[in-house]
Amino acid sequence: MATVDIHYIQAALRCAERKGYATERLLADIGIDSTLLNQPNTRSHGDQMTRLVQRIWSTLNDEFMGCTEHPCKQGVFALMSRHALYYKSLEAVLSQGILFYNLFTNDIQMKLVRGNNLVEIEIYFSRPELDPDHFYQEFWLVIWHRFASWVIGKMIPLKRVCFTYGKPLHANELKYLFPCQHHFNRSVLKLCFSAEYLEYSPIRTQRDLSRFLKHSPADLITIPGEENSYRARIRSLLLNQETKALQCPPFTLLAEGFNVSTQTLRRKLKSEGCSYPQIKNEIRQDLAIEKLLSQKLSVSEIAHQLGFSEPRSFTRAFKDWTGLTPTDYLQSKH
């Protein structure tokens, strides 16, 4: 599990303190000894940081953690990401997410600025003095970098990050959060990466997103990215087809498309802890639940779109996945 510098625990606690909440109970709830707060170079487990952020979100009912003029009720990030994830490229996902927040609040405004080879996400806090530790400004940078990386299954290498304040005492920790060039005392808070990543297609389903949100912000803090895994490449191929019905090519054609032998591809997938049948099953299950609950499609329509020969075959598979028939599963959610 990743660790974080104690500075971020201290800064998060001060977010709650400035809103009038005592920190002793928060520390007890997340299992941190208060004496550690005053010890330099101390690190905290990532799960403790996750629980602390979750508790502050809940206590303040504010996803901006008291660092803006107006609160942001819990659930806004989830709503944004569910909407944005329907788009077919990272550029479209980010553009929709930025548009969403720009319409939702004036406290944080953003721009996606694309040049020939680079793209920048510019961020403007209207009242940065409400975040004196720069905690949420740095957290917001982390959120958008990690979320973009999670969407495409690759940790996006950053070219540079610009901060609107001077070099802080915890500058060494920033090197771990943002392993790239750092520029301080700049006019705009922003992160920069290669524009090629904007063309990548999302590899995530809405069910993936539900799991991601359930543990948030854990994956935002610790997400390693899948880099160039074959699992990620196969998921991208299957989830981003032009056809309405899911097409799963034969394994031999899949290997040919990746310019490797079937033995090599099978070995690569095994080293990643998965197999082609497992990937197909995961995607069919996620899409089946999404189409049943969100799109309200009939069993026969879902069976056809997921490539089953008949509805009965789909119903049997669905029961293997969930323990319930589609009808019973739908009833259990109402």
Residuewise pLDDT in 10s, the chain (334 residues): 467 788 898 999 999 999 999 888 888 877 777 777 777 667 777 778 888 999 999 999 999 999 999 999 999 999 999 999 999 999 999 999 999 999 999 999 999 999 889 999 999 999 999 999 999 999 999 999 999 999 998 889 899 999 999 999 888 888 878 888 999 999 999 999 999 999 999 999 988 898 888 888 876 765 444 445 788 788 878 887 778 888 899 999 999 988 899 999 999 898 878 899 989 988 898 888 888 887 888 999 999 999 898 999 999 999 988 888 999 888 887 6
Please give the pLDDT value at position 333. Answer: 72
Contact 276, 257 (CB under 8 A): no
Q: Where are the domains of the chain?
A: 3-199, 228-332
Q: pTM of the entire structure? A: 0.76
Whole-number pLDDT of residue 221: 63
pLDDT at 14: 94
For 42-77, give the DSSP string: -EEEHHHHHHHHHHHHHHHT-TTTT-SSS---TTHH
Pull the structure tokens for residue 240. Answer: 């981003």
Report pLDDT for 224. Answer: 45
Tokens in use for 20? 């009038």
* Predicted pLDDT at 130: 97
> What DSSP string describes 112-176?
EEE-SSEEEEEEEES-GGG-TT-HHHHHHHHHHHHHHHHHHTS-PPEEEEE-SSPPPTTHHHHHH
Token pair 């806004």: residue: 76
The class of domain 228-332 in CATH terms is: mainly alpha
| Whole-number pLDDT of residue 309 | 87
Please say whether the dihedral angle defined by the alpha carbons of residues 267, 269, 274 and 279, taken in this order, is positive or negative. Answer: negative
**How many Å apart are CA 213 and CA 146, to the nearest integer?**
13
Reduce the DSSP state of residue 226 to 3 states and report it.
coil
How far lies 55's CA from each of 61, 203, 321, in Å? 9, 30, 33
